[in-house]
Amino acid sequence: MRRTTEQSNIRPLNAAGKHHIAIEAQQAKYARYIHLRRRFLLGVFMIIVAVVAMVNFHKQYVKYTTTSAGLTETSKTLSTAKASHSDLKQEVKDLGDDSYLEKLVREKYMYTKNGETVFNIPN
């Protein structure tokens, strides 16, 4: 559609033609306004979606890092518990042996055999 300007040699034939051209110009202006408004709303919507996505990503990242740190800590605790368990298992086996049991009671609880003399020597 062509727009007429004051410098153009083309003039409407009557008032109805001028009115028709004015209506078409007004409709074109309104269509541009609607188009710009839709583009603006689409841009705002895209920005909102991007912000929501970034917030969700950040929440998931924080959740992942805390879970990962907890997993590392739990793995360390598990390995120390396994080591302690194996030590305790060995001690239970050793407590079944009478000679080990005698040695343990003598060292830990300071027991002596009958007729035995104990000397305290400073370190």
pLDDT digits (tens, 9 = 90+) for 76-113: 999 999 999 999 998 888 888 888 888 888 888 878 88
Q: Is residue 118's pLDDT more than 80? A: no
Single out the residue of 9, 6, 2 nearest to residue 25, CA to CA: 2
- Alpha-carbon distance values, 106 to 6, 45, 61, 120, 123 (Å): 120, 81, 57, 14, 18
Average pLDDT in the 39-48 region? 98
Q: Are 18 and 12 in contact, with CB atoms under 8 Å apart?
A: yes
Each residue's pLDDT tens digit, 18-35: 888 889 999 999 999 999
Q: Are 50 and 59 in contact, with CB atoms under 8 Å apart?
A: no
Q: pTM for the whole thing?
A: 0.51
